[in-house]
Amino acid sequence: MAGGLLLAIVLAPVAAIVIILLVPRPRLAERLNLAASVIVLGASLPLPWASLGGPHVFLDRIVLADPLGAWAVLCAAIVYFLGSLYAVGYMRLLDEEARLARFYALFAGFALAILLAPVMNSVALYWVAIEFTTLVSTFLVAFERAPDSIEAAWKYIIVVSGGLSLALLGTVLLYWAGSFVLGPRYEITWAVLRAASPHMNPSLLLLAFLLILVGYGTKVGLAPMHTWLPDAHSEGPAPVSALLSGALLNVAMIGIVRTLSIVEAGEPGPLPRAALIVLGAFSLFVAALFIVRQRGVKRLMAYSSVEHMGVMALGFGFGGGLGVAGALYHMLNHSLNKSLMFFGSGSMMRSFGTKDIGGIRDVGRRFPVIGAVWLAGAVAITGAPPFGLFASEFTILRAGLTGPHAWAVIVMALLLIVIFIAFLNHFRIMYFAPAGNGTAPVRGVSLWCATPMWLAFLPVLVLGLWWPSAIWHYFGIVAHGLAAPPMLALR
């Protein structure tokens, strides 16, 4: 069951890419990409349930379907579908008809790399998949060929490659630490390393974890390694920003969570968790500072991603059933909500012809329907009830209160309030400030662009009002899997 679903998830984008490259026609390419994303979404929806009941490994133990990975795949598939739908409308506005086919091939390739990473059973192949996402998405960020986009792409690839080299170093050290227990040759999978972890040298294990945390933390966008994120997220086309923010960051977070689980199977002391929590809290702090004085509308959304990755890091850092459940729920809610926010920003950017918050005025009056959804999304993303992000952030706060890191809960609550005020103040300006001259929108918003915003918004609302008990139970299984004593017998 899980194997077939994974096969569909991989083959659909691959087929789309091959056909697009063979027959590069823009209209065909957008349909193929959309069809691939529908298949991926269709196969991902049952995947979490198919992945239950023991680890499923395929293809000579290269591919792993476990509850944690399946959840990240589901989040990524949703964003891929929404992004593909939105791209149909958005990319036609760019006047890049000749290169559109190439865009969709890259877009499907990017989604494929994101979908592959969480199901890699090998720690090293996970690294390769993450590195591959960087390489593909660099060209998506640089797609518009403006000097700004090229600059963003260059910073992105240099900073992230540098960060990932630290993650590779950490992976090598982890393998080395394991080789004292398991002999010079063994399979470098998450489960094997986790089983060997209690017998590994603690200081080496700690060093490896910190390197991996900083390495994948760069990709997740945890401050102070977040410097590439606002540039790359704001300069790529809007569907790419959504995929970067809503899918890629989660997938990189999975690597940190799995490594944390490996390290904690031994006895590392409180430092690994504390490191994750400190990075999370610092991300919130940095995001709050930059949100307050932000001038670019997409950069605002990008810093909000830094904030939410910080929240997620806090959730996983607090740990326990509540922390993991909150963080995973937050992953889904943030994927949906941030897609909505980037779609709205992209449409407004195109309509008003500017990236500046200062140039966007009277959104509510000029776009009554889309404007209302976007505004509701802004309220949701700041963590206000009754939306999904309120439920997940509140769960994370509750998880932290019972643990030894209560200070982080206070910091998080204060910074969330600051971000709430600052973020909505920007929206107040865009919606209700008196309009200046020359800010009339050039273009309306097409149905292709409006539909995915609704499709993203409605689940955020539903998930805020009703947290299905099946999902709650599922998170319990994930949390148990992360904290359970290692079951695998040593060779």
Partner 1 sequence: MALAHLPPLAASLFSLIAIASLLLTFVMLGSRELRHYLYAFALESWTIAILSAALGYYGNFPELYLIAILTVLFRGCILPYLLLRIIRRLNVAREAQVLLQPSSSLVIGAFAVIFTLTVAGGIGAGLGLGGSVVMLALTVMLSMMLIGFLMLTVRYEAISQVLGLLVLENGIFLGGQILVPGMPLLIEIVILFDLLIVVVCFGVLVRYLMRHVGSTSALALNRLVG
Contact residues for partner 1 (CB under 8 A)? 122, 124-125, 128, 131-132, 135, 138-139, 142, 145-148, 150-155, 157-158, 161-162, 165-166, 168-169, 172-173, 175-176, 179-180, 183-188, 201, 203-204, 207, 230-231, 234-235, 290, 293-296, 299
Task: Pick between residue 177 and residue 449 the one whose CB is nearest to partner 1.
Answer: 177
Residues in contact with 236: Cβ distance below 8 Å, sequence separation at least 6, in sequence order: 137, 140, 141, 143, 144, 149, 152, 244
CA distances from 419 to 37, 77, 261 (A): 33, 28, 31
CB of 194 vs partner 1, minimal distance in Å: 18
For residue 53, give every residue at least 6 positions away whose Cβ sits within 8 Å of its Cβ, in sequence order, or none: none
Cα angle, residue 262 at apex, residues 260 and 266 outer, rounded to 5°: 105
Is the CB of 137 or the CB of 250 nearer to partner 1?
Answer: 137
- Confirm if 137 and 244 have CB atoms less than 8 A apart: yes
Nearer to partner 1, 52 or 168 (CB): 168
* Distance in angstroms (rounded) separating the CA atoms of residues 257 and 482: 8
DSSP conformation class of 387: S
Q: Which is nearer to partner 1, 296 or 464 (CB)?
A: 296
**Minimum Å distance from CB 450 to partner 1?**
29
Instruction: Measure the CA–CA gap between 235 and 226, rounded to whole angstroms.
Output: 15
What's the closest the beta carbon of residue 101 comes to partner 1, in angstroms?
A: 18
Peptide bond into 13 cis (omega under 30): no
Q: Which of residues 192 and 254 has its CB atom nearest to partner 1 in the complex? A: 192
Minimum CB distance to partner 1, residue 214 (Å) = 12
Closest CB 350 distance from partner 1, rounded Å = 20
* Helix ranges (DSSP H) in 236-296: 238-243, 249-265, 271-292
Q: Which is nearer to partner 1, 185 or 485 (CB)?
A: 185
| Least CB distance to partner 1 at residue 480 (A) | 30
The residue among 165 and 451 lying less far from partner 1, judged by its C-beta, is 165
**CA distances to 19, 76, 193 from 66, in Å:** 31, 15, 16
Q: How far is the CB of 79 from partner 1 (least distance, A)?
A: 23
- List all residues 6 or more positions away from 442 whose beta carbon is below 8 Å from its beta carbon: 350, 351, 352, 353
Nearest one of 308, 304, 352, 346 to 326, comparing CA atoms = 308
155 vs 226, beta carbon nearer partner 1: 155
Shortest reach from residue 142's CB to partner 1, in Å: 6
In the three-class reduction of DSSP (H, G, I as helix; E, B as strand; rest coil), residue 444 is classed as coil
